[in-house]
Amino acid sequence: MNQDGVLLINKPRGMTSHDVVMKLRRILDTKKVGHTGTLDPDVDGVLPICVGTATKLVQFLTAESKTYIGEVTLGISTTTEDASGEIIEQNYIEEPPTKNKIEEILKSMIGTSVQTPPMYSAVKVNGKKLYEYARAKQAVERPQRTVTIHQIGLLGEIIHHEGLVSFKFFIHGSKGIFIRTVAVTIGEKLSMPAHMSNLTRIASGSFKIEDCQTLEDVVENGPNYLSISQALIDFSTVTVDNWVENLVKNGVKLREEQISPPMKQGQFLIKNKLGNPLSIHVWDDKKKLYVAIRGLW
């Protein structure tokens, strides 16, 4: 069986991304399996997995933007900012916010802002993950990050039940954004404690949830691999002749005239005349040469 390519997995809840990797190593009987970015245990949805030679792609498939369907519950805040944490604050809500008010707040959040990652997250500080500090009850300064919400909107009805209010929302945000923290921020803007009570990632870059396999489907029907070229569909591509192909394989930096059309902005994929991926290159403006970031043959 061919064991090279990218698997789009619909990660189930209750498993870490590493759990999925370990399970697929057993299913596929190969050690060369890696995921392209952590998806929290309480979150299900799109998790691209690289297998075999495609593990060379891991650094290139951490998508710049991701899309989720989430649920905010107002009235309770937790240590982890989601439903798995201990309750910090609980307030009975007599009068739920109006649909117009929620939509107004969501609209105000579109754009770029500074976000502080949750203590219960895999963000590293001094080589140690934040959740390790949290579990040891150690204080540490969390690094802030700039994130962007491209789109966000209310989905469905606002549910008011037993003093709690919940509603679903759609969000398309930049790499590194914590949707848990978005849920808490929505609560802050409403002057109410809040946490993220449900979350599904429906897209990671151009990879969609409708194209994903479950782990059970991989076991029953076999893996449905994307080729390296298919996985890098969003990359600009240049086809080179046999001479340049040999230069690439020998690690030679390429001159400007050897790449046509010119590729001066960002990373791009080089293929040979047979359409086989050779490498990811980028223009080095100081050296005035194209340099390889990763060989793919």
Per-residue pLDDT band at 264 (split at 50, 70, 90): very high
For 201, counting Cβ atoms within 10 Å of its Cβ (0-12 exposed, 13-18 middle, 19+ buried), the class is: buried
Distance in angstroms (rounded) separating the CA atoms of residues 55 and 32? 7
Residue 1, SS3? coil
> What pLDDT does 140 receive?
87
List, for residues 228-250, the tens digit of each pLDDT value: 999 998 899 999 999 999 999 99
Return phi, psi of residue 17, to 5°. -60, -35
Residue 160, SS3? strand
List, for residues 131-157, the tens digit of each pLDDT value: 888 888 888 888 889 999 999 999 999
Distance in angstroms (rounded) separating the CA atoms of residues 184 and 26? 38
> What pLDDT does 130 receive?
87
> What pLDDT does 137 receive?
86
Distance in angstroms (rounded) separating the CA atoms of residues 11 and 19? 10
Tokens 């039940």 appear where?
Answer: 161
Of 63 and 56, the structure prediction assigns the larger pLDDT to 56
Rounded mean pLDDT, 40-69 = 91
> What pLDDT does 1 receive?
56
Long-range CB contact pairs, 163-167, < 8 A, 24+: 163/75, 163/92, 163/93, 163/94, 164/73, 164/74, 164/75, 164/76, 164/93, 165/73, 165/74, 165/75, 165/93, 165/96, 165/97, 165/192, 166/71, 166/72, 166/73, 166/74, 166/197, 167/71, 167/72, 167/102
The answer to pTM > 0.85 is: yes
DSSP 271-297: E-TTS-EEEEEEEETTTTEEEEEEE--
> What pLDDT does 118 receive?
85
Domain with CATH 3.30.2350.10 in the chain: 5-63+206-231, 65-190
Do residues 106 and 168 make contact, with C-beta atoms less than 8 angstroms apart? no
Q: Is 90 exceeded by the pLDDT of residue 117?
A: no
Rounded mean pLDDT, 52-63 = 88
> What pLDDT does 16 receive?
92
List, for residues 5-19, the tens digit of each pLDDT value: 999 999 999 999 999
CATH T-level topology, domain 236-295: 2.30.130
Which overall architecture, per CATH, does domain 5-63+206-231 show?
2-Layer Sandwich (3.30)
Q: Is 80 exceeded by the pLDDT of residue 63?
A: no
> What pLDDT does 168 receive?
98
> What pLDDT does 263 receive?
95
Residue 143, SS3? coil
Distance in angstroms (rounded) separating the CA atoms of residues 37 and 59? 9
Active site members: 40
Per-residue pLDDT band at 126 (split at 50, 70, 90): confident
Do residues 33 and 254 make contact, with C-beta atoms less than 8 angstroms apart? no
Distance in angstroms (rounded) separating the CA atoms of residues 32 and 37? 16
Residue 69 bridge partners (DSSP):
170, 200
Tokens 């060369």 appear where?
Answer: 32
> What pLDDT does 61 receive?
87
Average pLDDT in the chain: 93
Q: Kindly report the CATH number that applies to the domain delimited by 65-190.
A: 3.30.2350.10
Per-residue pLDDT band at 293 (split at 50, 70, 90): very high
> What pLDDT does 2 receive?
64
Domain with CATH 2.30.130.10 in the chain: 236-295
Q: Is 60 exceeded by the pLDDT of residue 72?
A: yes
Distance in angstroms (rounded) separating the CA atoms of residues 24 and 51? 9
List, for residues 206-215, the tens digit of each pLDDT value: 999 999 999 9
